[in-house]
Amino acid sequence: MKRVSQLTALALLCGLASFPSLSADMPHTLTLAQLQAQHGAVIDTRVSAFYNGWPQTLSASSGHEPAALNLSATWLSAMSDEQIGSWAKQHQLTTDTAIALYGSDAENQAVKARLEKAGYARVSRLSDALQVPDRLQRLPHFEQLVYPQWIHQLQQGKQVTAAPAGSWKVIEAAWGAPKFYLLSHIPGAGYIDTNEVESEPLWNKVSDDKLKALLAKHGIRHDTTVILYGRDVYAAARVAQIMLYAGVKDVRILDGGWKAWSDANLPVERGTPEKVKPAPDFGAPIPGQPQLMVDMEQARGMLHRQDASLVSIRSWPEFIGETSGYSYIKPKGEIAGARWGHAGSDATHMEDFHNPDGTMRSAADIAAMWKTWNILPEQHVAFYCGTGWRASETFMYARAMGWQNVAVYDGGWYEWSSHPQNPVSTGARGPETSR
């Protein structure tokens, strides 16, 4: 069953699947206007790349229907019945809610079956889905989160949406020696050890001079498009955020990381990276975007403001001081006045931001999660975690969502907690504590 679902997803992403009407098993249809009159819910059953804004073909419509939820059929094998029910409840769907699906016939049928098993009987098809381009919604910068088939087509020299303007590179990022990379990686991909962009004692980014040397070593100029991926998404995001700070204009990450490529059954290769011709010059001053990083004093100045948010991307146990989250960070607690931006179950997980397949959760879900803690798109927002990885992943998502004034507090909890004079909070608390 897993093999079949992967091949189906691959066909869809390559634009081979059409949008046919549903079979006799699902005869009832509604237009968007009819569904809205019933205060119903629209569900996009396609993969998240298409939901976010990538067109299924070069000439296809881009985006999703207004207020549509994303429940991809490709996630179903990773979701228990209880998780399906929790997803529906989280999105305020009741068993009386009218629901209309759109996607391919196979996708719709699969999602319909799971919803009906969970007790949702009023499930139909959205008859005018993707037919009115002007009403479709998308991530403002969906192109910053690429998907596997896009990379594959780019490598094959095919015409792609949002193609790089000039030269481009695919690079895997991870901590330490490339042990997994050597066994299997995206064909032609280079490799960056995160130790090249951050260093002890606090694992902050390296100096601008060292960053300049690193970029030259990997043949990267300010106008090189860099496409990063990792076995852990946040490793790639860490490198991506630092490259953007340096001044690389077009930096993208593979949404879902290496797992997305592997699940798509695309070609892989093994062995050491190809020798890279160094870039003689970056072509622009470094840093090109210094505002993408804030230091400890700037972070302190963002506390208790309505026009700014210093946002903790740490697990709840870390936020309330039950654990530091790291073997090498001894102090427990949180920056007093910081707002909780969610993360995951511990310091190495980011479930709160991920779909079941590891891709970015919908922008609407993330924005709603942040709004509860008064984290808003019009604010100056700086994300931090323990040492910068989780914060960087969130930064990349916010950037794709169109949030215009976002940064990373590079020092994070590690730096803040190493200065005893800095205010620290412990214990459970709510959004009111950060106002």
Q: Label the pairing between strands 99-102 and 41-44.
A: parallel
Count of C-beta atoms within a 10 Å radius of residue 327: 7
Q: Where does 164-291 show beta strands of DSSP type E?
A: 168-174, 190-193, 198-199, 204-205, 225-229, 251-254
| Active site (annotated) includes residue 385 | yes
User: Rounded to whole angstroms, how far apart are CA atoms 218 and 186?
Assistant: 17
Give the contacts of 129 (CB within 8 A, at least 6 positions apart): 19, 32, 65, 102
Peptide bond connecting 377 to the previous residue in cis, omega within 30 degrees of 0: no
The one catalytic residue in 385, 396, 401, 406 is 385
User: Rounded to whole angstroms, how far apart are CA atoms 81 and 69?
Assistant: 18
Token look-up 């210094």 returns 290
Q: Which residues pair with 77 in a beta bridge?
A: none
CA distances in angstroms from 126 to 48, 65, 89, 269, listed in the order given: 18, 10, 21, 42
Give the contacts of 379 (CB within 8 A, at least 6 positions apart): 306, 307, 308, 309, 405
Q: Residue 368 corresponds to which tokens in the numbers above?
A: 């709603």
* Coil, helix or strand at residue 132: coil
- Using left for φ > 0, alpha for ψ between -120 and 50, and beta otherwise, residue 231 falls in alpha
User: Rounded to whole angstroms, how far apart are CA atoms 435 and 431?
Assistant: 7
User: Rounded to whole angstroms, how far apart are CA atoms 181 and 198?
Assistant: 20
User: Rounded to whole angstroms, how far apart are CA atoms 64 and 130?
Assistant: 7
Sheet of strand 251-254: strand arrangement: 145-146, 251-254, 225-229, 168-174, 190-193
Which of the 8 DSSP states describes residue 202?
Answer: T
Q: Which residues pair with 173 in a beta bridge?
A: 192
User: Rounded to whole angstroms, how far apart are CA atoms 164 and 20?
Assistant: 33
What Rg, from alpha-carbon coordinates, does the chain have?
A: 22
Known catalytic residues? 385
